[in-house]
Structure 1
Amino acid sequence: MTSPAALELRHVRNVEEVRQEIVDVHAEVRHRDFGLTGPFYTVERFNERLTGHSSALGWEAVVAYDQGEAVGFAYGVPLGTKSRWWTAMTTQMPEGFAEETGSRTFALNEIVVRKTWRGTGAAHRIHEELLSGRPEERITLLVNPAAGDGKVQAVYERWGYEKIGEQQPFPDSPVFASMMRTLR
Structure 2
Amino acid sequence: MPEPIEFRRSRDVDEVRQTILDLHVEVRGDFGLLDRPFNSVERFDERLLAYAQRPGWETVVARTPGGELVGFCFGTPLGADTRWWASMINPLPDGYTTETGTRTLAFQEICVRKPWRGHGVARRLHDKLLAGHPEERVTLLVNPAAGDGKLKAVYESWGYEEIGRQQPFEDSPQFAVMMRPLRHS
- TM-score (norm: length of structure 1): 0.96
**Are residues 1:23 and 2:21 paired?**
yes
Q: Measure, in 2, the Cα distance between the counterparts of 1:181 and 1:69.
A: 32
1:84-128: CA deviation from partner (whole Å, max 9, x where unpaired) = 000011011011000001100000110111111111000100100
Unaligned runs of 5+ in 1: none
Unaligned runs of 5+ in 2: none
After TM superposition, give the deviation of residue 65 of structure 1 in Å.
0.3
Q: Which residue of 1 aligns with 2:158?
A: 159
Q: Measure, in 2, the Cα distance between the counterparts of 1:41 and 1:89.
A: 21
Q: Measure, in 2, the Cα distance between the counterparts of 1:174 and 1:81.
A: 25
Q: Measure, in 2, the Cα distance between the counterparts of 1:149 and 1:29.
A: 17
| SS, match of residue 85 in structure 2 | helix
**Are residues 1:34 and 2:37 paired?**
no
Give runs of ≥4 in structure 1 deviating > 4 Å. none
Partner amino acid, structure 1, of 2:18: Q
Q: Measure, in 1, the Cα distance between the counterparts of 2:56 and 2:26.
A: 27
Q: Which residue of 2 aligns with 1:8?
A: 6
Q: Which residue of 1 aligns with 2:78?
A: 79
Q: Measure, in 2, the Cα distance between the counterparts of 1:82 and 1:35.
A: 34
Partner amino acid, structure 1, of 2:49: T
Q: Measure, in 2, the Cα distance between the counterparts of 1:154 and 1:116.
A: 21
How much is the aligned-residue C-alpha RMSD, in angstroms? 0.7
1:114-165: CA deviation from partner (whole Å, max 9, x where unpaired) = 1111110001001000000100000000001111111100000000000000
Q: Which residue of 2 aligns with 1:61?
A: 59
Q: Measure, in 1, the Cα distance between the counterparts of 2:38 and 2:53.
A: 20
Q: Measure, in 2, the Cα distance between the counterparts of 1:150 and 1:74.
A: 20
How many residue pairs align between the two structures? 180
Q: Measure, in 1, the Cα distance between the counterparts of 2:14 and 2:54.
A: 14
Q: Which residue of 1 aligns with 2:91?
A: 92
Q: Measure, in 2, the Cα distance between the counterparts of 1:144 and 1:34.
A: 13
| From 45, 48, 53, the counterpart of 2:46 | 48
| SS, match of residue 125 in structure 2 | helix
- TM-score (norm: length of structure 2): 0.95
